[in-house]
Amino acid sequence: GESVGLHLPTLSVQEGDNSIINCAYSNSASDYFIWYKQESGKGPQFIIDIRSNMDKRQGQRVTVLLNKTVKHLSLQIAATQPGDSAVYFCAEYSWESSYKLIFGSGTRLLVRP
């Protein structure tokens, strides 16, 4: 499939290590945040979300941390696997933005075998 995000920042990790992908969001009024995973040639796929009244949420092998003070969001992937190689996007939403979900520019995760 067509490659997207040719100039994205890249995080390279060893298989089995933990990965941390960071995202700085822009709107202090944003109250809902989502992480998406996009594999080459496919549409984005939901990973995990978090609302602004929380600072941490855990899923299967993934954890999202929210620091509203510095407007920072992170995605932690435990025991990274080759299948985790993809581009990861954070997205933010606020009632002020009139139903618009705004995406960040993304980070490419490469998992070395």
Residue numbers at the binding site for other proteins (CB under 8 A): 2-8, 32, 34, 41-46, 49, 89, 91, 93, 98-106
> Shortest distance, CB of residue 105 to other proteins, whole angstroms?
4
**Cα dist from 33 to 24, 61, 69, 97, whole Å:** 11, 18, 15, 13
Residue 37's DSSP bridge partners are 45, 88
- Reduced to 3 states (helix: H, G, I; strand: E, B; else coil), residue 87 is strand
Q: Which is nearer to other proteins, 3 or 69 (CB)?
A: 3
Query: What is the DSSP pairing of strand 45-51 with strand 62-67?
Result: unpaired
> Shortest distance, CB of residue 1 to other proteins, whole angstroms?
8
If residue 86 lies in a helix (H) or strand (E), which one and from where to where?
strand 86-93
Q: Which is nearer to other proteins, 91 or 111 (CB)?
A: 91
> Shortest distance, CB of residue 92 to other proteins, whole angstroms?
11
Q: Which is nearer to other proteins, 41 or 113 (CB)?
A: 41
